[in-house]
Amino acid sequence: MEMKPDETATHSVADRIAGLERSMIRYMFDSAQAMDREDLVHLEIGEPDYDTPTHVLDAADEAVRGGATHYTSNAGIPPLREAIANKTERDNGIRYDPETDITVTVGAMEALHLALLTITEPGQEIIIPSPAWPNYRTQAVLAGGKPVEVPLDTDGFQLDTKAMIERISSETAAIVLCSPSNPTGQLLDAADVRAVADAAAEHNAYVIADEVYEGLVYGGSKEAIASQVADRDRVLTVNSISKKYAMTGWRLGWLAGAEPIISEVTKIHESTTACASAPSQHAALAAISGPQAPIEEMKSSFRERRNYVDDRISSIEGVQCPRPEGAFYAFVDITSVAESSLEAAESLLYDHGVVVAPGAGFGDAGEGFVRLSFANGLDRLELGLDRIEEFVEVNR
Ligand code: PLP
Q: What residue's CA is closest to ligand 1, atom 7?
A: 46
Q: Which is nearest to 117 in space by CA: 240, 280, 236?
A: 236
**Is the link from the previous residue into 324 a cis peptide, with omega within 30 of 0?**
no
Q: How far is CA 188 from CA 139, 195, 235, 244, in A?
A: 22, 12, 16, 19
Closest atom of ligand 1 to 239 CA is: 15
Report d(CA 230, CA 391) in Å as an integer: 47
- Residue 1: per-residue pLDDT: 43
Report d(CA 396, CA 393) in Å as an integer: 5
**152 touches 146 (CB < 8 A):** no
**359 touches 369 (CB < 8 A):** yes
Closest atom of ligand 1 to 133 CA is: 3
In degrees and rounded to multiples of 5, residue 289 shows phi and psi of -100, -5
User: Is the CB of 109 within 6 Å of ligand 1?
Assistant: yes
Report d(CA 71, CA 177) in Å as an integer: 32
Residues 6 or more apart from 125 whose CB is under 8 A from it? 145, 146, 147, 148, 167, 169, 171, 172, 173
- Residue 70: per-residue pLDDT: 98
Estimate the crossing angle of helix 78-92 against helix 278-289, to 10 degrees.
30
**Predicted confidence pLDDT, tens digits, the chain (396 residues):** 444 555 556 788 988 888 888 888 889 989 999 998 889 999 998 899 999 999 999 999 999 999 999 999 999 999 999 999 999 999 999 999 999 999 999 999 999 999 999 999 999 999 999 999 999 999 999 999 999 999 999 889 999 999 999 999 999 999 999 999 999 999 999 999 999 999 999 999 999 999 999 999 998 778 999 999 999 999 999 999 999 999 999 999 999 999 999 999 988 998 999 999 999 999 999 999 999 999 999 999 999 999 999 999 999 999 999 999 999 999 999 999 999 999 999 999 999 999 999 999 999 999 999 999 999 999 999 999 999 999 999 998
User: Is the CB of 182 within 6 Å of ligand 1?
Assistant: yes
User: Is the CB of 253 within 6 Å of ligand 1?
Assistant: yes
- Residue 189: per-residue pLDDT: 95
Report d(CA 301, CA 307) in Å as an integer: 10
User: Is the CB of 134 within 6 Å of ligand 1?
Assistant: no
- Residue 17: per-residue pLDDT: 87
- What does pTM read for this prediction? 0.95
CA of 394 to the centre of ligand 1 (A): 35
CA of 38 to the centre of ligand 1 (A): 28
Instruction: Tell me whether residue 38 is exposed, middle or buried, using C-beta atoms within 10 angstroms of its C-beta: 0 to 12, 13 to 18, 19 or more.
Output: exposed
User: Is the CB of 83 within 6 Å of ligand 1?
Assistant: no
